[in-house]
Amino acid sequence: MKWCLPSQLDRTEVIKSNLHPVFAKVFSLDYYFEEVQKLRFEVYDIHGTHSIGARDDDFLGGVECTLGQIVAQKKMMKPLLLKYGKYAGKSIITVHAEEISGNNGYVELSFCAKKLDDKVIKNNLNPVWEPFKVSLISLCSCDEERKLKCLVWDYDSRGKHDFIGEFYATFREMQKISSGNKVTWDCVNPKYKQKKRNYKNSGVVILTDLKLHRVYSFLDYIMGGCQIHFTVN
């Protein structure tokens, strides 16, 4: 019998001062139907800048399952357990899973905003955010028509961020900028929309640039007619 020590796959981002965190980081795993792929998720309350699991950090709970269980359920919800199998109060962890197609492309997006309801970037109501890169798998699972929910917050260094508004977009909609069209969305706060009769938006978010990059695989070159001549000694 062969024993394998558990290894850490990855970590999510850290979310400050939030009892109901929704982590944005996506993990990609290879699923093998014929194998039992055991997983363990652990949640910590971090007090310092040290690595997770340090003495100052509080272990909030963990859960064990298999990758097959997550794939079968698509949305797995399980209570967090403390040491010796005790329940961590009413704490629950939710894990979503979906099948993704093989696409190595990524996109670089640049956004700005006008007339936001609050001060977001160094007391600026018309911020221009830094460009960022994201893979198409992480962004929309390579589905150009998939709705993306985008949230705008007023950042607070203490972790108590103020919600400004939200909007929905699709990657196909974003690509209209390539044709010279102006791509904008109303940033809407649902609470204000219900309470204020003449409410229109809490600002406008503008897509200023989109660069689509395709990372070609060896097979793509072969299928595209690329010929390679080499010898092996």
pLDDT for 110: 94
How far is it, in rounded angstroms, from Cα 133 to Cα 126? 22
- When pLDDT is cut at 50, 70 and 90, the band that residue 1 belongs to is very low
pLDDT higher for 121 or 72? 72
Tokens of 54: 């340090």
pLDDT higher for 205 or 33? 205
Question: Residue ranges of the domains in the chain?
Answer: 1-99, 106-213
pLDDT higher for 34 or 149? 149
Share the mean pLDDT of the chain.
Answer: 83
pLDDT for 119: 46
How far is it, in rounded angstroms, from Cα 148 to Cα 65? 29
Q: In the predicted model, is pLDDT for residue 209 greater than 90?
A: yes
Q: In the predicted model, is pLDDT for residue 50 greater than 70?
A: no
Which of 47-61, 65-79, 171-185 has the least mean pLDDT? 47-61
Which of 157-161, 165-169, 194-198 has the least mean pLDDT? 157-161
pLDDT for 120: 45
DSSP conformation letters of 91-125 = EEEEEE---------EEEEEEEEES-SS--SSS-S
Topology, domain 106-213: Immunoglobulin-like (2.60.40)
